[in-house]
A and B are shown apart, each in its own frame.
Chain A
Amino acid sequence: MSSETAPAAAGAGMQGARPEAPAEPTARQPLWQQAARWEVGLVVVLIGSLIFGSSESSTFDSQTTLFYGGINAGYIAIMALPMMLIVVTAEIDLSVASTLGMAGALLGDLWHHGWGIWPALIAALVVGVLGGTLNGVLVAKAGLPSIAVTIGTLTLYRGIAEILLGSQTIPGVGDRSFPVWFTKIGVVPVPGTHLSYTTVIFIVLAIICGVVLHATPLGRSLYAIGLQPEAARFAGIRVTRIKFWLFVASGLICAFAGILLTAQNSSVSYNAGYGLELNVVAIALFGGVSIFGGKGTVIGVVLSATIVATLQMAMTQMTIDPNVQEIVIGVLLLISVVVPSIGKLARWSAARALRSRPLQSVRTALPLTVRTK
């Protein structure tokens, strides 16, 4: 079935990824109305996860769960925000976790070589911006497919991290420790709350992201780019420039996440954040962002990140086998892809039943492939 949808995907066909999307862009409902349906489902899942956690784990109902959940998932969720903006424009950035690793490794390397903390932090952010710039140039300016480009930079940036630090963990024996104000973000919550620093930073960034995406012309143009890049271009939207800056922003945010992770761990090694790009993509997609672009809300991503963190905390407290934990997250991701398609299938069979009504009922039992010939 997917092989049939793929060729039809050039423009309006992409909307088929979600059942709510009408075929004609002119007939579209306001975006928040379409998306609200997916988000309601997420709220149900979140409530279910919370009930599951508090009934199955005796230690779940505590403030430390909130804090630890933020420590574990906050820096990943932060990377999901630029990821969702990029996916809305029908591109993807798979180099996010490697950018995190590269920025962290540079921070560690410079610290090891006697740099002060502030210059090292700024350098880490700059290298993130440079990494994002390279992605942006290759994808937006050169027009190369983002999935191929960022798989390349995924290995490239991780390789740079490995060259910088090798087998060292910084600070190693003989190195200065990172300043206490820097490393305490992994140990203490934000004063007056039980939230980790990464959680608060994620909330702030999500609000900024939500305002930009849902309340500005720029945000509208991101959806337009994702739905109809050609039409968006003719409508005067600077597709190339917007995509370029999205990748740069992604590099910056991921470098920032690398700094946060370094602070939380009081140290950094080249494999910081290894393999997390898939978690980041999973959070975005489960949050209702369509992999075909043009659809998704920030609140969906926030809910999705919260659900993943909640389930992970509950399952670890219950010492559920980590393989089973991954299966649960995998099933959630599958649901986020399959459920909309089931809606589409329901429409097909409804349309089919309608058309075949005058004919013999056996006709309706024929496989779809036979009928489309």
Chain B
Amino acid sequence: MKRYNKSRCAAVRRPAVLAFAAVAAVSVVAACSSSSSSSAAGAGSASTGASASTGTSASAAASGIKKGLVVYFIPKDTQNPYEVLADQGGARALTGLGGKVVVSSGTADTAAAQIPSIQAAIQAHADAIVIAGNDPSALCPSLEQASSAGIKILSFDSDVTCGSSPNHLFVNQADTASIGTSEVDILAKEIGSSGQIAILSAAASATNQNSWIAYMKQELSKYPKMTLVKTVYGNDDPATSLTVLQGLLSAYPNLKGIISPTTVGIQASAQYLDTHKSLLKKLTLTGLGLPSQMKPYVKDGTVKEFELWNPSNLGYLAGYAAAALASGSASLTPGSSFTAGTLGSYKVLAPTTGVGPSIVLGPPTVFDAANVDQFNF
């Protein structure tokens, strides 16, 4: 190796190296440009594909909706399977109305990853933005800019708390209180209303998670023998969720129940319990999960019951709401109503504490071994 070190003293071919750097750099740029056009086309075909597969005709409900609307769907990130389904639902709604959906977000569940997408929507003169907030406040300055540029702002899945800047419509998946309370009730039923329980949530700053958890804590006062020992955060990342779950199990060996109100968290937990069956004798898992992902665990008894609503319908509703607001056929005034295609008619609800004008998709569905096969999302 010493000898080889000496041989390094040979003269350098600087122009050659420089030329190579330039060529390499240009080829990277060229590579981007070619991949860009194909991926943009891919995104477009994905949304139309979703609309074609549903086969429902929504044209009847399109009264007063403008043609050619462009709605930016900004999910928490682009991989979350729940959000992918919701975005497809939105694309189904807009394609039916003669408009289009652009899905744009980052790979990490942070506000910083979503802000560039809001900016892109402003620059593209979008008609509406439908966003699932990774942070209740950090997105508000950007959303306010979008609103002053004439873009209608809607939030879904996870609300943003921007007050009146900007005013926006929250498309709520289910009544926030009933999600929180029903999960505690399900767990209480399964563990005999006593023992230590924990919550495995998503990001600590996620608005939806925190408001459900607040209602869970409230509901727990009905069960004096159940104690919430810890809330941990898996950031909607399977690996992180697993790590914090293992931390929980070693810190609280007597833990009797876990509520994971996030599809990523409950799946990671179910997978772990499935391979560590001895834990199941004393530990019960419930929460919010996708039937398609949870099917095997419900079938083999790892999880008895869990809840969710149809995320595709949530996106579909949000898409119709966005189109109605952007066309001026509905407004944020409480009582203003619009028809959401196959889902029927919806009315804007008056603001309550912490939540502005909103619409609610419907009550959550409880899934168990008996009914899980009927759902394909």
A positions within 8 Å CB-CB of B = 4, 7-8, 13, 16, 19-20, 22-24, 37-38, 40-41, 44-45, 48-49, 51-52, 55-56, 59, 62, 64-65, 68, 71-72, 162, 166-167, 169, 171-173, 183, 186-187, 264-276, 311-313, 315-324, 326, 328, 331-332, 335, 339-340, 342-344, 346-348, 350-352, 372
Residue of B nearest to A162 (CB): B204
CB-based closest 5 A-B pairs: A267-B137, A41-B21, A265-B138, A59-B123, A45-B25
Q: How far does the alpha carbon of A44 sit from the alpha carbon of B111 in the complex, in Å? A: 32
Q: Do A7 and B136 contact each other (CB < 8 Å), given the known contacts A40-B18, A270-B205?
A: no
Q: How far does the alpha carbon of A23 sit from the alpha carbon of B25 in the complex, in Å? A: 27
Quick check: B17 and A56 within 8 Å, CB to CB?
A: no
The answer to whether the Cβ of B325 comes within 8 Å of any Cβ in the partner chain is no
Near A by CB (< 8 A), chain B positions 94-140 give: 102-108, 110-113, 115-117, 119-120, 122-124, 135-140
CB distance from B123 to the nearest CB of A (A): 4
Q: How far does the alpha carbon of A326 sit from the alpha carbon of B18 in the complex, in Å? A: 25
Judged by DSSP, the binding face of A is: helix
Q: Do A335 and B28 contact each other (CB < 8 Å), given the known contacts A68-B116, A173-B161, A342-B20?
A: yes
Residue in B10, B12, B107 whose CB lies within 8 Å of A20? B12
Quick check: B124 and A45 within 8 Å, CB to CB?
A: no
Residue in B9, B17, B21, B39 whose CB lies within 8 Å of A23? B9
21 A-B pairs (CB sep. < 8 Å): A40-B22, A44-B22, A45-B26, A52-B33, A64-B119, A162-B204, A264-B141, A265-B111, A267-B136, A274-B110, A313-B116, A319-B43, A320-B32, A320-B39, A321-B78, A323-B107, A324-B39, A347-B8, A347-B10, A372-B1, A372-B4
Near A by CB (< 8 A), chain B positions 134-180 give: 135-142, 144-145, 161
CB-defined contacts of B124 to chain A, threshold 8 Å:
59, 317
CB distance from B130 to the nearest CB of A (A): 15
B positions within 8 Å CB-CB of A = 1-5, 7-14, 16-18, 20-22, 24-26, 28-29, 32-33, 35-37, 39-40, 43, 77-78, 102-108, 110-113, 115-117, 119-120, 122-124, 135-142, 144-145, 161, 203-205, 210, 231, 233, 353-354
Residue of B nearest to A15 (CB): B8
Interface centre among A68, A162, A171, A326 (most CB of B within 10 A): A68
Residue of A nearest to B205 (CB): A269
Residue in A52, A318, A339 whose CB lies within 8 Å of B24? A339
CB-defined contacts of A328 to chain B, threshold 8 Å:
28, 32
Q: How far does the alpha carbon of A44 sit from the alpha carbon of B20 in the complex, in Å? A: 12
Q: How far does the alpha carbon of A296 sit from the alpha carbon of B120 in the complex, in Å? A: 34
Quick check: A339 and B20 within 8 Å, CB to CB?
A: yes
**What is the count of residue pairs linking A and B with beta-carbon distances less than 8 angstroms?**
210
Quick check: A266 and B145 within 8 Å, CB to CB?
A: no
CB-defined contacts of A274 to chain B, threshold 8 Å:
108, 110
Quick check: B3 and A169 within 8 Å, CB to CB?
A: no
Quick check: A347 and B11 within 8 Å, CB to CB?
A: yes
CB-defined contacts of A22 to chain B, threshold 8 Å:
9, 12
Residue of B nearest to A37 (CB): B18
Interface centre among A172, A272, A322 (most CB of B within 10 A): A322
CB-defined contacts of B108 to chain A, threshold 8 Å:
274-275
CB-defined contacts of B25 to chain A, threshold 8 Å:
41, 44-45, 48, 335
CB distance from B24 to the nearest CB of A (A): 5
Quick check: A321 and B119 within 8 Å, CB to CB?
A: no
Q: Do A48 and B29 contact each other (CB < 8 Å), given the known contacts A169-B137, A186-B141, A313-B116?
A: yes
Q: Do A48 and B26 contact each other (CB < 8 Å), given the known contacts A269-B205, A319-B120, A347-B13?
A: yes
Q: How far does the alpha carbon of A270 sit from the alpha carbon of B11 in the complex, in Å? A: 52
CB distance from B337 to the nearest CB of A (A): 29
CB-defined contacts of A171 to chain B, threshold 8 Å:
137
Q: How far does the alpha carbon of A270 sit from the alpha carbon of B22 in the complex, in Å? A: 41
Quick check: A52 and B21 within 8 Å, CB to CB?
A: no
Quick check: A319 and B102 within 8 Å, CB to CB?
A: yes
CB-defined contacts of A44 to chain B, threshold 8 Å:
21-22, 25-26
Residue of A nearest to B3 (CB): A372
